[in-house]
Amino acid sequence: MKVIVFGVGMIGSAIAEDLAQEPGIRLKVVDRSQRSLDKVKAKAVAEGIQANLQEKGVISSLAADCDLVISAVPGFMGFNTLRSVIEAGKDIVDISFFREDPFLLDKLAKTKEVTAVVDCGVAPGLCNIIAGHVFHLLDQTDRYMCYVGGLPLLRQWPFEYKAVFSPLDVLEEYIRPARFVENSEEVVLPALSEIELIDFPEIGTLEAFNTDGVRTLRKTLNIPFMREKTLRYPGHANAIKILRESGFLSTTPIKVNGQNITPISITSKLLFDHWKLKEGEADFTAMQIIIEGQRQGRRLCHTYYLLDRYDEKTRITSMARTTGYTCSIVARQILNGRLKHKGICPPEYIGRMEVCYENLLNEYRKRNIHLQESIVEQ
């Protein structure tokens, strides 16, 4: 089977390296950076192709002889990349976290008989899979709550944060309105709002604030209350609010010395070095999901807890592991015929397929990613 990975940054490279270990897969990796390509090829058997995926016809040409596409491009490229791959009639697993509604491409994907899995990381991704799984188990689901975040082990002033992907994508998360469901109605609140403190085992106190993480769940699951909050070290949200309210995260161009400049692009460039994990720097991913509902007359609370850490042996970050391996495992499910859904396939659809859900957990365990579950009768 031929697989092509578009974008081999820190997460795309982890996906490529994991897939390269699968017997029978012939791998191609594509990136604008030759340095990124060389890093992957030093660890995995793959054909490296330096290309600009935004050039017309490049995506369809590169994907033409492939069975499956992995899209790990930045968010601003995500939707157009997905559309081009679907138009080419190729199955795809996407982690680009774009702002557009993926279901706008559902009809096209069904017409092309394409399986297009979107938002297939850790959050969105794993949290959606769990939501779909529990929703399928319960007779009635009343409440879904997710707390999730990836953080550096070492806290450093002023932001106490590091990103394993594009800082621009992180900043987008901080300005995009957060959409939730309350009393079965959509509620929209500003990102970074409603800050609360949460104590996590083995980690300590973190802050949680609103971000736009519920995404496709608003359309696919009939749950009257759904929310997601992002986790950071206390004080991070207010530091970002200062940037946002001062205009540094604005997407509206301003004129400086006769040139039009978008403030958020400059801010992203300036933060890149501050937010870049150093070689060998440890990080962790923390997630807690609480789902309440009823089954056979009993009121139940399902709680899931994940704490994953940087892998010193492979030198792969936790965020790359939890995001990238979710993607690579689902990719295998398409290649081996476990996942056959045609059209846009958000991760919650995977969660309701028992064979796919159990396979995901088994593959996590092989990679030393452990998801704890408890069920309490209320």
pLDDT tens, 40-50?
999 999 999 99
pLDDT at position 181 is 96
Number of H helices, E strands in the chain: 13, 18
**pLDDT band at 354; cut points 50, 70, 90:** very high
Contact call for residues 285 and 307 (beta carbons, < 8 A): yes
Angle between helices 318-335 and 354-366 (to 10 degrees): 140
Average pLDDT over residues 224-235: 97
Instruction: Check residue 377 and give its pLDDT.
Output: 94
User: Residue 121: its pLDDT value, please?
Assistant: 95
CATH 3.40.50.720 assigned to domain 2-121+319-369? The reply is: yes
The answer, yes or no, to whether residue 261 has pLDDT greater than 80, is: yes
Peptide linkage before 124 cis (omega within 30 of 0): yes
**Length, in residues, of the chain:** 378
- pLDDT for 273 equals 83
Buried b (16+ CB within 10 A) or exposed e, 229-263: bbbbbeebbeebbebbeeebbeeeeeeeeeeeeeb
For domain 126-309, is the CATH number 3.30.360.10? yes
| Statement: residue 328 has pLDDT above 90 | yes
What is the average pLDDT across 337-351? 97
Q: Specify the pairing of strand 68-71 against strand 91-94.
A: parallel
- The per-residue pLDDT for 274 is 87
How many Å apart are CA 72 and CA 97, to the nearest integer? Answer: 9
pLDDT in tens, 295-306: 999 999 999 999
Give yes or no for residue 165 having a pLDDT over 80.
no
Query: Sorting pLDDT into bands at 50, 70 and 90, what band is 169?
Result: confident
What local confidence, expressed as pLDDT, does residue 293 receive? 98
Identical fold, 2-121+319-369 and 126-309: no
| pLDDT value of residue 272 | 87
**SS3 at position 263:** helix
Q: What residue segments make up the domains of the chain, in order of their start?
A: 2-121+319-369, 126-309
Average pLDDT value over all residues in the chain: 95
Whole-Å CA distances, 98 to 74, 124, 215: 8, 11, 10
Mean pLDDT of the 263-278 span: 90
- What pLDDT shows up at residue 278? 86
* Mean pLDDT of the region 287-316: 96
Measure the N-to-C terminal CA separation of the chain; round to a whole number of Å. 48
| Torsion, Cα of 176, 182, 185, 189 (10° steps) | -20
% of the chain with per-residue pLDDT over 90:
93
Burial of 278 (0-12, 13-18, 19+ CB in 10 A): exposed
Alpha carbon distance 168, 163 (integer Å):
10
pLDDT over threshold 90, residue 276:
no
Q: Tell me: the pLDDT tens digits for 82-132?
A: 999 999 999 999 999 998 999 999 999 999 999 999 999 999 999 999 999
For residues 36 and 281, what is the distance between their CA atoms, to the nearest angstrom? 18
